[in-house]
Amino acid sequence: MVQERILPKLSIPPVQISREDGLKVYEDMVLGRTFEDKCAEMYYRGRMFGFVHLYNGQEAVSSGVIRAMRSDDYVCSTYRDHVHALSAGVPPRQVMAELFGKATGCSKGRGGSMHLFSSEHNLLGGFAFVAEGIPVALGAAFQSKYRRVALGDDTADQVTACFFGDGASNNGQFFECLNMAALWKLPILFVVENNKWAIGMAHDRATSHPEIYRKASAFGMVGVEVDGMDVMAVRAVAQEAVARARAGEGPTLIEALTYRFRGHSLADPDELRPKDEKENWFSRDPIKGFEAYLIEQNLAKTEELKDIQRKIQATVDEAVEFAEQSPDPDPSELYRYIFTEEGDR
């Protein structure tokens, strides 16, 4: 039986967030869940191909971190990247079109589910190989620091958020990049989405030290464990880490304890995880928890939240329609976007 680390419910003081921001965060979380549910529907109807890894259950991490950042900050993702892209501001229709392999997709139909990218939204990419994105995110943080310190560009105070799973914390890139980030005090958040399972391997069986956030101490780095099913808790930790990074105080390792509500991918029958474990985490749905918070704090009424749900459903339905009507990439452009072209610089 996998050992559980479930944090006690945090005692959140009244109104830590404005009504406007609260509704924006809620809308972002609902968009992530609704989009992923639609992806599952399209996949099983044969409209999407390849591997598709959904984010259901982990919405509090994406919304809590990315919505605590500026629009010009950087986000680096994994193969479970749809919701990170949406939180970073990539339009749903562009993400959906990419999943359909269409030319109107954010990666021009060349990336698919695991390789979303948008230079316009500072989304550095989704990466299929475990831990592959960590060095890329480190490079983004380094250029921010270099431009500010070496080139004297006071506007270069962007922060990078690097997302990866618990399985990546056992890879060499993780340790090498934490060391470099701490050594140079780079403005980066290393966000471990610890959903307890690396495909079919339970986290506690794969590492000699299951508490990932404690590994930050080896590098003299701040390490924080947070309830990844509580968007307010994630948001508070992220805001503090972003402020430290922007002030030149270096990186933070954030371990968000969360859980994916579906199998590893849509091709996974999800037969390895214990039924009682899944039921326990399903009862802590981050969206339902935030709905209750918004109502309890008089920040929203039930009907308002239902209106948001209806609006988001219409947005996602329109994204599917856009994707289906979009053209396929032109075969004559097969070798385009491999090298930098004149005018792209």
Residues for the chain: how many in total? 345
Query: Which structure tokens are listed for 4?
Result: 């559980």
Which of helix, strand or coil describes residue 109?
Answer: coil
Supply the pLDDT for residue 10: 36
For 50-91, write each residue's pLDDT tens digit.
899 999 999 999 999 999 999 999 999 999 999 999 999 999
For 172-201, write each residue's pLDDT tens digit.
999 999 999 999 999 999 999 999 999 999
| Cα–Cα distance for residue pair 2/274, rounded to 1 Å | 9
Mean pLDDT, contiguous 10-residue spans, the chain (345 residues): 45 68 98 98 93 97 98 98 98 98 96 96 97 98 98 97 97 97 98 96 92 96 97 97 97 98 95 96 98 96 98 98 97 89 67
Supply the pLDDT for residue 320: 98
Q: Give the orientation angle of helix 302-325 with respect to helix 92-99, to 10 degrees.
A: 50
The single-letter DSSP state of residue 198 is E
C-alpha triplet 333, 336, 338: angle, nearest 5°: 150
The model carries a pTM of 0.93
Query: Which structure tokens are listed for 223?
Result: 């390490």
Q: Which domains does the chain have, with CATH numbers?
A: 19-323 (3.40.50.970)
